[in-house]
Amino acid sequence: MHHDKKFLKFPEGFWWGSAWSAEQAEGKGNTGKGRTQWDMSWDKEPNRFYRGVNTETATDFFHRYPQDIQLMKETGHNSFRLSISWARLFPEGDGDVSQEAIAFYRDMLNQMNANGIKPFANLFHFDMPERMMQKGGWESREVVDAYVRFADTCFAAFGDLVFHWFTFNEPLGPVLGGYMEDFHYPNVVDFKRGVQVAFNTVLASAKAIEVFKRHGLGSKIGIILNLSPTYPRSENGFDKQAAEYADLFYNRSFLDPSVKGTFPQKLTDTLKQYGHLPTYTPEDLAVIRDNTVQILGLNYYEPRRVKARTAAVDPQSPFMPEWFFESYVMPGRRFNPHRGWEIYEKGIYDLCIDIRDNYGNIDAFISENGMGVADEERFMQNGQVQDIYRIGYIKNHLAYVHQAIGEGCNINGYHLWTFIDCWSWINAYKNRYGLVALDLNSQQRTVKLSGEFYKKLSDENGFEFDGFYTEF
């Protein structure tokens, strides 16, 4: 990577924007939105939520979207990824659709389009309706079928207004959080149930794509995956084997069936060996094979570094992917001290190259990338957050995205996480990610320095790069 001062220009029509989800931004509103798994989690263990903040109000986008869409323009958005709340459209998860919810989303999407902002609509972002969760969540075929009806309803109701569609955001999240690592409801630790959740999610995505094709829309449909390039500690064969397993479990498990229509053989062989294959039919595999994604969203935040295990696995402990590797903390790494994540910009380049070389260079874009920082009021000057670190973070990553595009990667856009500081699951508002600051008490929005930078970046379709920012 050259460090000379130069202007990095991006391809014509590049998508500049950001992303968030319904549960994290909308608030309840007045459409009769049904309860979700987050309400169930709040009922069960409110202490898990940072400072006791739930999703009742969030960023209040439901009431403020006309003004917020103007803020999107003010911060350079030509595109924006939102999610459509399943529980808002179908308060029971199935059955009668809420016409008030359809009216809300149609007006919001119309206003985005009228302001030159392409709506990217995602159908599931960690927000299972309560009634569906009670039926077993993604473990249940009945819930898969209800999701497909929800997706079909969305294609019919909003297909004329949505630029691109996505079936899921980070489907690995509910698997890890809900069924392995205990950070999302239902807080189960059971690998086999987690595998069934993963398989049924892949199947639900394929079935939604199958239905989408019948609508004859001009848009594309894809999936958004959180992908961390996996690096072995060393070139030692055991370290490399550890990295291969980590990559299979955390990246290829969703990437291969979504793009190629098949699961990695080594992964299925491993699951079979340990008795953890999901329940499925040959017809399920045919649906997955025949309904692959047309576009891929790449969420990148941090690399995954692993090494061979240094201790034997306790056979009396729950089966986990970590039976095959250990995490490795690289000496001298740079990291975000607020979030505890390593900052490794080259990872975004390596990810793009992997998609180019191993996944047919499918249409793709960076669908999330961003830096969460706690107590950003520390950086307030004259009423504005001077988040120079966020500008540096964005520039560093975009320099590598630019290099990847120059080397033939089919990357069509960059969406930051996020637009306005939004609610972030059990972390609530602890770490702020936005281009726009949110005052939780008054709901006042104030554009940060990074928001002004983002507008210039979008207007000029590029930026002047004079070396890497390192003062995180």
Catalytically active residues are 170, 368
Pick from 64, 75, 84: which is nearest to 127 by CA?
Answer: 84
What angle is formed at CA 164 by the lines to CA 158 and CA 170, rounded to 5 degrees? 105
C-alpha span between 302 and 416 (Å, rounded): 14
Cα first-last separation, the chain = 20
C-alpha span between 379 and 34 (Å, rounded): 39
Token code pair at residue 47: 């202490």
